[in-house]
Structure 1
Amino acid sequence: MAFSVVGMMKPALDWATVALNAPLARAVVFGVPIGGHYVVEALLLVVIVFLLLQKSYKPPKRPLTEKEIDELCEDWVPESLIPPTTEEVKFESSVLESAAGPHTVVNGRDVVNFASANYLGLVGHEKLMESCTAALEKYGVGSCGPRGFYGTIDVHLDCEARVAKFLGTPDSILYSYGISTMFSAIPAFCKKGDVIVADAGVHWAIQNGLHLSRSTIVYFKHNDMESLECTLEKITRENKRASKVRRYIVVEAVYQNSGQIAPLDVIIRLKEKFRFRVMLDESNSFGVLGNSGRGLTEHYGVPVEKIDIITASMGHALATDGGFCTGSVRVVDHQRLSSSGYVFSASLPPYLASAAITAIDVLEENPHLITTLRKNIALLCKGLSTIPCLSVVSNPLSPLVYVKLSRSTGSFQGDSRLVETIADHMLKEDCVLVTTSRRSKLDKCTLPAGIKLYVSAAHTESDILRASESLKRVSELVVAE
C-alpha cells in the first residue's frame, strides 16, 4: 500500500518541479527575477480576494412558491423568548387580602404575620391614616413627574427636612422607591476606576448598585473586621493608584441576609486609618437601633458626620414607602443632578411623604415602641434557641430574626427547599406567616439559606410563643423526614 502511494505522488512532484523550472516561472520583471513560488502565491491571493468578494448568501434565481413557503413555515421552530421554566423557579406566592399588620388575611385565613418589616407596628396607625387622607384631599395622588421637572411638592421638602433633623444631618433627599435608593446612590458617587470594598453579605439592591457603578469591587468576608482590615491594607499596599482614586466601604447596619449588626466603631477606625469613605444602608436599623431609633450611629455612639453617605428605605419602620439618602449638603445636591433614581423617576406620592413625617413624630412621642420591640425580639430568640435542628444567627437586637439549619444538606438549593417546606407547613397548619431567603440567580450572596422572622412592636406575647412553638414542631417534623 505504501509503495502504491509513493508511486502516485512521484509523477505529481515531477510535474510541479517542471512547472517551477519553466522559463515563465523564472521571468524577470523590471530587473527583478520572479521565482515559480511567486506565481503560485499570486494565484492564491487572487482566489482569496475572489472568495472574500462573494456574497455569503445568494437569493434563489426564482421566487419560492406558496407550497415551498408553507413547508418552510411548518418546519420552522421559533426559539423561546424566555428560558424554560424549571422546578426550582416555580413558586406560587400566598395572596395577601388585607393590610400587612401583625395579623393579616392570607388566602382567606387570619394568620400571624412575621413576614412584614413592620417593626414599630405603625401599619394602619390612626395618625398615619389621617395624615394620608389629608394629603390625598390636598394634593391628590401625585404629579406623576420627576422631582426636577414638575414633581416637587412642598411636602417632599418638609419630609427631607424632617429626616435630616431627626438624624442630625445637614440635608437629605427622597427617592420614590426604597430599593432604588441604594442602587441609584452608589453609581452617583462611584465611577469606573474607583475602588469599592463591600461586605460579601449585602443584599441584592446594593449588589446591583455596585454593578452599575462599574467600579473595581472587592468583597470581604461577611461582618469579619479582620478580613476588612486585610482587604483595605492589601488594596492600599498593592494598588499604586489607590491614593489617587475614590475609595469606599459599603456595609449594611442590619444585614438583610443574616440579621447581623455591623460593628460601626471598628469600621470607622479602619476608615480613618486607610482613608476610605463609608456608605451605610440603614433600612433595617432606622427607627429600631439606638435609644431613640436614630440607627446604628446612635447605637454605637458614633457622630453621624463620620458617615459619608447614609441610605434607608422608609417601607420598614416608618410603614410607608420610598427611601432617603442623607449626609452633607454637597452629598445631597450632587444626587439631584446625578442620581438616576431621583432624576428619571416620578416623585414620591405626597401622601407617602406625609405619612413618613407623621411616623417620625409618632416615634419621638412614643419611645416605648422601641422598648416593646426589643422585649419581643428577646422573647422570640429565647423560644427559638431551644430548637435543636435550627440555630439563630442574627444579633439579639436585630428586629430581623434569622434562623438557619444546624446541619446543612450540602447545597444552597437543598437548604432552600427544606426551609421553604418548613415555612409552607407553618402557614398551612399553624397560620403563621414567615419568609425564607429566596434568591435569584443574579444574587451573588453566598450566605446560607434560612428563615426570616420580622418582629414587630405590635406583636403580642401569644403571637411570639405561637411562632416559636410552630417553628419548633414543624422543623423537627420536616428535618426528621
Structure 2
Amino acid sequence: MASAVVNIATAALDWVAVAFDAPFAGAVVFGVHINGHLVAEVLLIAVILFQLTRKSYKPPKKPLTEKEIDDLCEEWVPEPLHPPITKEMKVEPPTIESAAGPHTIIEGKEVVNFASANYLGLIGNENIIDSCVASLEKYGVGSCSSRVFYGTTNDHIDCETRIAKFMSTPDSILYSYGISAIFSVIPAFCKKGDIIVADEGVHWGVQNGLHLSRSSVVYFKHNDMASLESTLEKLTNKQAEKVRRYIVVEALYQNSGQIAPLNSIVRLKEKYHFRVILEESHSFGVLGNTGRGLTEHYGIPIEKIDIITAGMGNALATDGGFCTGSARVVDHQRLNGSGYVFSASLPPYLANAAIAAVNYLEDNPSVLTVLRRNISLVWEGLSDVPGLIIASDPLSPIVILKLKNSTGSLKSDLELLNKIVERVLVEDSILIVSTKRSVLDKCRLPVGIRLFVSAGHNESDIKKVSESLRRVACENWPDIV
C-alpha cells in the first residue's frame, strides 16, 4: 500500500516537472518572462485567498421542542460539590465553649486541654489582653482593607519591626492568617519551571503552597538526609542550573513532632546551590535558648536561611503569620504575596497582641524551662503505654503516639486511635486529638494521637493524661497490639 502511494506521488511530480519544462510553460507578456513556477505560485495564492474569504458553514438552527428540553432536563445530573458523605464525616468533634487554655469547657464541663498549641500558656495572659483592649479602643475591630490600600496601621508596622528585631533579620512582613503565610510565600518566589524539593511530611498549608506555585515538586523521605542528598544530586545538572531551586522543610513537623536537622540541610543547600524556605509555625517561640527557633537551636546564623515563615497562633497566642528575612525578600512579597495584597489586613489588636507576646517571651525566658520540664514529664509518663510508642522528638511540644503494630489500613488505625481519644474525653475529661487528615491532605506519614504540651500545664494535668491513656490503652489491648 505504502509503495503504491509513493509510486503515484513520484509519477505526479514527474508530470509536473515535464509540464513546467514544456514550451507552453514559458512565455513573454508585455516584456515580462512568465514561467510555469510563477503561474503555479499565482494560482496557489488565488486558492488561499478564495478559501479565506469563504463563509464558514453553519448548520441551520432548529429549535428544540418542549419535549426534547424536558428530556434533557430529566437526564441532567449535576456534579457533586463535595465528596460523598461518609459515616466518619458525620461525627461531630467536641466543641470548646471557652478560651482554649490548659483547662477549657466542653458541654459545660471543665476538661484538661492537650489539643491546643498554646505552647507558652499565653492564652488569657493579662498583659496580652490589656494590649488588645488598648488597640481596640484606638483602631476598632478591623482595618476593612488590605495592607496595600488603607489597611496598614502603626500596630502592623510596629509588629513587623518587633519580630525582625527579635529574629535579628533586616525586615518582616505580616499576613492576616497564619496558614496563608506559607502558601502565599511559596508561590511568590517559586514559579512554573522552578524546582522544589520538599519533605514528604509537610503539613497541608505547605502542600497547598507547593501546588499553587506550579513548580516541579519532588518529595524526599521524611527527615532523611540521605534521601535529600540523593534527590538533590539527581536534580543537579547543567539544565537545572538555569532555574531557581528550593528546599522546603518544617522546623518542627506538625504531622510527626520531629525536628528538622538544619545543620545537614544547610550543608546540602550550600553544596548543591539551593535556597531554603523554612516553616517555623511550631518552633518559633519554642526552640532555642530564647525561643528564636531552629536557627538558634542549632547555632546557625539566620542569614544562611533564605526565607523563614511562621504562624503566630501557637506560641504567641494570637493570630496571623509572618515572613522574615532580607529586605529584598520582604519587599518582593509586598507586591507578589497574594495573602498580603488581596486579603484584609490582620486586625490591629492581634498585631498588638503579638508584640506583647514577644515582649513577654523576651522578658521571661524561664517559661521555656517550664515548657521543657513539662515535655520531659509527658515523655516519662507515656513511655510505657501498652500498644503505643512515642514517635516525636524529645524536645518537641508536639508529642505523637502511634501504634506499635499498624493494622495495615489507615482507616482502621484511625478508628482504633479515635476510640481511645473518645474514651479519654468521656471517662477522664481530657481533650486530646488524633492526627486526622482531610481528603486534600497528601501527607504520607502514619497517623497517631497528638498531644500539645503547654507551659501552662501542671504536674497534676500531666499525671492525669498519662494515667488515663495507660488505662484506656490497657483495656483496648487486644485491638492495638
> Normalising by the residue count of structure 2, what TM-score does the alignment of the two structures yield?
0.85
Q: State the 1:80 CA deviation.
A: 4.5
Aligned partner of 1:314 in structure 2 is 312
Aligned partner of 2:14 in structure 1 is none
Please tell me whether the aligned partners of residues 200 and 222 of structure 2 are also in contact (alpha carbons under 8 angstroms).
yes
| DSSP 3-state at the match of 2:314 | coil
| DSSP 3-state at the match of 1:201 | coil
Aligned partner of 1:333 in structure 2 is 331
- Distance, in Å, in 2 between the alignment partners of 1:74 and 1:196 is 48
RMSD: 2.1
- Distance, in Å, in 2 between the alignment partners of 1:79 and 1:253 is 40
Q: Counterparts of 1:2-81 in structure 2 under 5 Å?
A: 58-60=62-64, 63-64=65-66, 80-81=80-81
Q: Counterparts of 1:56-455 in structure 2 under 5 Å?
A: 58-60=62-64, 63-64=65-66, 80-236=80-236, 239-455=237-453
Summarize deviations over 1:285-343 as a string: whole Å, max 9, x none.
Answer: 11111111001001000001100000000000000000000000000000000010000
Q: State the 1:412 CA deviation.
A: 1.1
| DSSP 3-state at the match of 1:95 | coil
Q: State the 1:94 CA deviation.
A: 0.9
Q: State the 1:70 CA deviation.
A: 7.7
- Distance, in Å, in 1 between the alignment partners of 2:391 and 2:262 is 19
Summarize deviations over 1:195-232 as a string: whole Å, max 9, x none.
Answer: 11100100000000001001110110000011111111
Q: Counterparts of 1:456-471 in structure 2 under 5 Å?
A: 456-471=454-469
- Distance, in Å, in 2 between the alignment partners of 1:141 and 1:420 is 38
Q: Can you give the 5+ residue segments of structure 1 that lack an aligned partner in the other structure?
A: 1-51
| DSSP 3-state at the match of 1:302 | coil
Q: State the 1:275 CA deviation.
A: 0.8
Please tell me whether the aligned partners of residues 386 and 477 of structure 2 are also in contact (alpha carbons under 8 angstroms).
no
Summarize deviations over 1:370-417 as a string: whole Å, max 9, x none.
Answer: 000000000001111111300001000001111101110101111111
Please tell me whether the aligned partners of residues 401 and 449 of structure 2 are also in contact (alpha carbons under 8 angstroms).
yes
- Distance, in Å, in 2 between the alignment partners of 1:75 and 1:242 is 51
- Distance, in Å, in 1 between the alignment partners of 2:254 and 2:183 is 15
- The 1:293/1:79 distance shift into structure 2, 3 A limit, reads closer
Q: State the 1:479 CA deviation.
A: 4.1
Summarize deviations over 1:114-154 as a string: whole Å, max 9, x none.
Answer: 00000000000010010000100011012110000000001
- Distance, in Å, in 2 between the alignment partners of 1:168 and 1:135 is 26
Aligned partner of 2:52 in structure 1 is none
Q: State the 1:469 CA deviation.
A: 1.0
Aligned partner of 2:53 in structure 1 is none
Identity score, percent: 67
| DSSP 3-state at the match of 1:456 | coil
- Distance, in Å, in 2 between the alignment partners of 1:174 and 1:71 is 55
Please tell me whether the aligned partners of residues 386 and 473 of structure 2 are also in contact (alpha carbons under 8 angstroms).
no
- Distance, in Å, in 2 between the alignment partners of 1:441 and 1:358 is 37
- Distance, in Å, in 2 between the alignment partners of 1:71 and 1:304 is 67
- The 1:241/1:96 distance shift into structure 2, 3 A limit, reads same
Q: Which amino acid aligns with 1:251?
A: V
Aligned partner of 1:9 in structure 2 is none
| DSSP 3-state at the match of 1:458 | coil
Q: Which amino acid aligns with 2:153?
A: I
- The 1:278/1:55 distance shift into structure 2, 3 A limit, reads same
Q: State the 1:78 CA deviation.
A: 5.5
Q: Which amino acid aligns with 2:127?
A: K
- The 1:455/1:84 distance shift into structure 2, 3 A limit, reads same
| DSSP 3-state at the match of 1:249 | strand
- Distance, in Å, in 1 between the alignment partners of 2:240 and 2:69 is 63
Q: Can you give the 5+ residue segments of structure 2 that lack an aligned partner in the other structure?
A: 1-55
Please tell me whether the aligned partners of residues 375 and 395 of structure 2 are also in contact (alpha carbons under 8 angstroms).
yes
Summarize deviations over 1:170-196 as a string: whole Å, max 9, x none.
Answer: 100000000010000000000011111
- Distance, in Å, in 2 between the alignment partners of 1:155 and 1:465 is 41
Q: Which amino acid aligns with 2:232?
A: L
| DSSP 3-state at the match of 1:110 | strand
- Distance, in Å, in 2 between the alignment partners of 1:117 and 1:98 is 15
- Distance, in Å, in 2 between the alignment partners of 1:472 and 1:218 is 40
Aligned partner of 1:10 in structure 2 is none
| DSSP 3-state at the match of 2:90 | coil
| DSSP 3-state at the match of 1:211 | helix
| DSSP 3-state at the match of 2:150 | helix
- Distance, in Å, in 2 between the alignment partners of 1:402 and 1:110 is 24
| DSSP 3-state at the match of 1:464 | helix
Summarize deviations over 1:68-123 as a string: whole Å, max 9, x none.
Answer: 98898778766644443122433302111100000000121100000000000000
> Normalising by the residue count of structure 1, what TM-score does the alignment of the two structures yield?
0.85
Summarize deviations over 1:343-388 as a string: whole Å, max 9, x none.
Answer: 0000000000000000011111111100000000000011111113
| DSSP 3-state at the match of 1:326 | strand
Q: State the 1:58 CA deviation.
A: 4.9
Q: Which amino acid aligns with 1:164?
A: A
- Distance, in Å, in 1 between the alignment partners of 2:206 and 2:75 is 46
- The 1:113/1:57 distance shift into structure 2, 3 A limit, reads farther
Summarize deviations over 1:412-469 as a string: whole Å, max 9, x none.
Answer: 1111111111111111111110111111122111100001100000100000011111
Number of residues of Structure 1 aligned to a counterpart in Structure 2: 426
Q: Which amino acid aligns with 1:283?
A: S
